[in-house]
Every structure is written in structure tokens, then in C-alpha cells.
Structure 1
Amino acid sequence: MIDEYQRNNNGNNHLVRASSSNVMLYGNLGNLRQPQQGNYGGKANHQREDSNNNNNNNNKEKNGKYLNSATTPICRALSTRMDPEQLKIMGNEDYKNGDFAEALALYEAAIAIDPNKAAYRSNKSAALTALGRLLEAVSECKEAIRIEPNYHRAHHRLGNLYLRLGDMEKSIYHYKHAGPEADHIDVSKAKSLQVYLNKCIEARRLRDWNTLIKEAEAAISGGADSAPLIYALQAEALMKHNKHREADEVMKKSLNVDTDACTKLFGPISTASILTVRAHVDMAMGRFDDALSKAQGAMRLDSNNKDASMAMRKARAVAAARAKGNQHFKVGKFRDALMAYEEGLEHDPHNSVLLCNRAACRAKLGQLEKAIHDCSSALNVRPDYAKARLRRADCYAKLGKWEASVEEYEMLLKISPQDEEVRQGLMEAKERLKKQRDEKC
């Protein structure tokens, strides 16, 4: 691509920059901290990679830093005069300004010209980290160290990455090889986090779920804020307390990486454990196909994992029960549908989707009190489950419990203020409640 650009632009030395419309907004990076706070950037002094980056500061506008012309959709890295050191300087400038995607493009351009320069790999790692691509950042740091085994900055960055990913042994190892880049505080922090992690593992062994939740939160707050295994342990403990929604929120905060990348970094056994927890959470939230896929993936990685085996059997049984029940419900066979959902609940008694579906069957069969009970059970697991709340509001209405029905509709309206069905239901319930009170008077 670079060669073709150079051939087609003979004599043009103008540097241009691509549109950065695809840059990830920092606010979407979740728990990632700003580089000036010291994460991944080598004590917030990334600019020390090269101190002569000031000579470009006064030339941004005339170098066409943000040209809007349709003829300049190519990163300014692509020019007829490709000096990798200059590209690195420009990348450092962008990095300091928070333009991480553009910095990454410049570092990659420098690497394309000189792939054996450790500093370029280390700088690329810093940009990847700022964009939330932590596992790729680990690979670049490793490559920098392969090129230059005593490169202190790369060791320190890799120590920071492993700390946040929850691998304290590797974190400590690289801190100890970081020379003046690291200090006793770094090693001490990693050792403290290792204590938290050990407590998490022990609490899980003892099935002390309250302690596990507390220690996992302490580890995350202490710095291991991108550690999939710690998030999985916390989510598992929440699931044991039937706090399915909270478990789902925890897993959303966790680093979302593909199975192969996760296996490469954490190994097959740990990855299988993470996938198993994800399978349980997906099943509880009604994502049955995803649950089955993750459980099968866990079994492929660790065929001896009993939890994964159980999750796979449960996912298959629950998914089959729901599909069977839905088929009966669509053709009006409500008793058969109810029996099918109950078969699924034998495997997963607290599954909110199956409880809500059984409530629909019971409502159709006139078993309104039982339907309300099922809706309540589903809402205990998932307080924000709008379908269960709407169904309960309807059951209250059919029983003439208009005050309770109004309360349900008002809660639904707070969640979905534009929902016309909810508005109509609330209006009707209020009218009937008023009429009911007038009749009593």
C-alpha cells in the first residue's frame, strides 16, 4: 500500500492525515484510565521515548494535520519520504494529545519500514492499550523484548499489562526486569493483588460466595481491572446468590476477547472456566444459543471440566424446553407449553425467561395468582425484566387489583416512557382504580 502510494504521488512530499472518524471515544473504554494517570504509559511519561518531538508542535496546521479535502483520506504516515524516526515522533505527539488511533497508525507505519526497532513496538503497545486492545498490546511488548531483551520500558509496560490482566507472577517478573522504570511500589502492588486473587480462589473452593464477591471487588479496585478470571469469579458468586442481572453487568465490564486470544494468554483451563461462567450468565439472561456455544467451547478446551459439562447439559435441556414450549404456545396448546417450560425449570429453577413464559401459560389458563407468583420470581432474579412486569400488571388488572396494576405500569413507564402500550395500560388502570374507589364511597 505504501509502495503504491509512493508510485502514484511522485514528487509530492506533503504529509496528510486520514479522517479519524473511526477513533474510539475514550468515554467508551470502560474502566481504562487516562494515560496521564500512569497506566501502561511507563509512569505517564510516554514522551520520554523520544525527547525531540517538540520540533513538530508549531507545524501542525501547515503540515495539514486535519485536512477536510476528499483527496486526503490517507494517513499522513504515507508520504514519499518515509523516515521511521519522524513517524515515531509524530506518533508520540498524537499519543500525548490523546489521538491514540492516529498514533497507532504512525507507529505501525514506522514498524513497516523498520520492524526490528524495539521502541516502535513498545510505543505501539502503549497506543493499543489506550484503545483497550490489551492482548494485542501484550504481544507487541513481547516482541519488543524479543528484539531487545533488556529494554526496561517494554518490561515495565508488560508488567503493567499483566497486572491489570490478573497474572501477578508474570507482572512481578517483568517489573523486576524493568530496571529504573519500576520501583518497589510496583512490585508491592502486584504482590498485594496476588493475595486478593489467592483469597478469591480459596473462597471459591470453600463456596464462601460473600467473601468471593468482596475479595474480587478488592482485586479489581486494586488494579486488576481488566482480569477476565477475576470478573468471572465475581459473576459466579453473584449467580450463586441468584443475582443474575448483577452477574451479567459484571461480565459486561470484563475484557471481551475472542477464545483463541484468551487461551493463548491465560491457557485452556482458565479460559474454559471463564467460558463456563459466561455460559451460566447467558442462560440466566435468556441467551440460550450463546450459552450453549460457550459451554461447548469450554468443553473443547477442558473436557474434564465438570462445571462446563453441567453447563452444556443444562443449556441444551433449557434451550430445547423453551423451543418446545414456544411451539405449543403459538398454536394455543397452553397446557402442553406449560409442561414444556416446567421441564426446563427442573434443570434451571431460577431461569427468568422460563418463569415468565410459564406465567404467560398460567395467565391463559386462568391461573392468575400463580402467574403473578412466576412473574415475581422472574423479577427477583431480573428486576429490570420489563416483559415479566408487564405480564404481572396485566394479571393484577384481570384480578381487579387496580392499585397494584397502576404501580406496575408506573414503574414500566419510567423504564420506557415512549411505550404506547404501557401508557394505554396505565391510563386504563387509573380510570378503573378511580371508578373502584368512587364505588366504595
Structure 2
Amino acid sequence: MAHWPFNSMKSAFQQLNNTNGELHAGTCRKDYQLAMVVTSLLNQEQWNGRRAVGSKEEGSLLVFGRLEEHFQKLLSLEKHLNQCADSQKIGDWKSAPRECDAAIAGGADFSPQLISCRAEALLKLHQIEDADSCLSSIPKFEHYSPSCSTKFFGVIVEAYVLYVRAQVEMALEVAVAEKAGLIDYNNVEVAKLLNNVKLVARVRARGNELFSSGRFSKACLACGEGLKYDTSNSVLYCNRAVCWSKLGLWEKSVEDCNNALKIQPNYTKALLRRAVSNGKLGRWAEVVKDYEVLRKELPGYIKVVESLSQAQVALSKSWEEETYSVKFGGEVEEVSGVDQFKAAISSLGVSVVHFKVASNYQCEQVSPIMDKLCVQYQSIKFFKVDVEENPTVAKAESIKSVPTFKIYKNGDKI
């Protein structure tokens, strides 16, 4: 058995450990992980102490012999991973499953991306049911670990897994519709369904190709063509929303996201896209609302938490700017909705809120006085809330009659 000098072996293992984190973090079995942990704990002083004599030296050689064995297995695993990537890149779908199987057998048996790669290859070989069965073996997690934010075949791991799953599901839809057509080939409705499913699948694939090549306008048209055959396809609406956003048409993007969410209310991709598009339009209250929903739906997604925080800051800032502008105009700013109300009273300084009803005579008499105060005391923020239009705000603030005035400082009631 060849033995490597400690420094070079430790360096090799540390380098492999870093590489492993990029390629398949969290996917190897315990023995490989243990080998890397043991190596990281060894240091030059420990090695010098173990080099003494007799049984201590034999014990050290035994440890390094085992580590060397694990190291060779990890090198073999890395080789299969690289060959798997090469096969996927050139479209060698016959070799890809073989390399995936070898990598999985070599220790990457909990790797969602490798299992998905195998499923994609099987799908390309028209083995649809095998591809679906393959995907069903992916371990179920509430959310992916931070290591899955790295890229695999140029795509973020979780996105790649979903990308393959979407392809398999489309193929299954076509296969199921074809089976129905074979069973009842004279049924007009079944024939129509089969035709529509095939057309939509073809359009989605075409739209994805156009989008990938940067032809966003044509991708929009492709999605629109598919929606003619399937008006309740939330995926097509969401895909077109992404295309609109790439073209800078934020209003159209929001509209298609709304359509997708009417069909599928908890569609996270549509919620994310709508939040981004509304952000571009400066509708920060809507952005905050969507990100709050997404934070519950995707508890482990750091990007959502960060985006929510940024949107809340932007919302507060926009309210301060609007309030400042309103003061010089001599009018009290009207607040609608719980989110806007919270943002208004949370701004720095003192805020005075006039709770009113438009049809109330006393409220109408008070409003001009509030406008004058707004101009006279520009260091104070003045707001008005119609309790009939905003019953949730009225209930939260315990408004029993109008007109009612409440004063807040930095978000706290005085």
C-alpha cells in the first residue's frame, strides 16, 4: 500500500471536501462523510505524535489506509459525476443513466439532482413510466438545504429537479390522454382532449426553447397560442408573465400572474413573479403582501426573507415621501388597507389619524380643519381612514364612532 505524506494527503482531502460540497453536498453516505471529518481533525502535531513506534505507528497506518480507501472511492464518485455531466451536456442519454447509477451506487444515493438527471435521460429515451418512478424515489424534504442553491448542469439544484418533474408530468399527461383515446377512440370529447393536451405540451416545449434563446416576444406568442386550447393552464399564464417581465412590460406580467393565481392560489412561482413585477411598478404594499405569503409557503428560502425586508423598507420610505408631498399640497393623505395603515403609522415621528365616514356630516365639517392643520404643522403626519371602506382597520383600532382621532408615535399609540 502506498502512503502519502501527511501534508499532501490532508490538502488533497480538504480540496476534495470543497469539491464535494459543490458537486453533491449532503448526498454521500456516512462513511465518506466520516472520512472527510476525520481528515479535517488530524493535524501535523497529532501525526508526529503517532509516528513514534510500534503499535501506535501501526494504528496510524491503519487509519490512513482506511482514509486512502475512502479517498479512492470519492475520486471514483467524482469521475462518474463528471461523466454524467458530460453525457447530459452532449445529449448522450444512453450513457447518462449508466453514469448516474454508478454515482448513486458509489455513495450519492441521496442526491435529488442525480436522480433527476437519470429521470431526464429515461424521459428522452421515451421511458416515461420509468422516469416517473425514478422521480418518486427522491427523498422528501420540507425545503432544500442551502447547498442546493449551487448549480447543477448550469441550473440551481431545486430548480433543476422541478424542471425535470415538469417535463415528466407533461409527458404523462399526453400518455394518459393517448391511453384514453385508445380505449374510447370514437368519443369526440376524448379525441378533443387528446388533441388539446398534445398541442399544449408542444406549445410549452416551444415556448421554453424560445425563452431559453432570449426570444421573449415569440415566447409570449407561443404561450398565448397554448392558452387558446387550455384557458385554465396556470403554468402557461405564469410562463407568459415571466416573458412579459423580461420585456419590461410589468403591468402585463402582473395581470398574467393574477390569472395564474386565480386558477392555482398557492402557485409560488406566480407569487414570486408578481412580487417582482409589482416592485418594478412601485406597488410596495402588494409586494409585501405576496412575500408574507411566500415566507409561510417557503420557510427555508432566505431570498424571500431578504426580499420581504427590502420591500418593507421601500414601503415605509414611499409612505414618508408621499406624506411629505401631501403636506405641501394642504391635503390629508387617505389610507386604505391594513398594510398601508401599518406603514403609515410606523413612519418616524408623530402621526394623527382621522377615522371617518364619507356620508357623516360631522366628519365632513372636520376634514377642512384637518387639511389646515396639515399645512400648519408640517412636522406631524396627518392621515384619514374611511371606516366603512376599511372595516378591518377600524376593528383593529377599536373604532366605535366617528369622527375619531388617534395619535401615534413611531408606530405606537399615544
Give the TM-score normalised by structure 1: 0.35
User: Which is higher, the Rg of structure 1 or of structure 2?
Assistant: 2
More strand by share: 2
TM-score, normalized by length of structure 2?
0.37
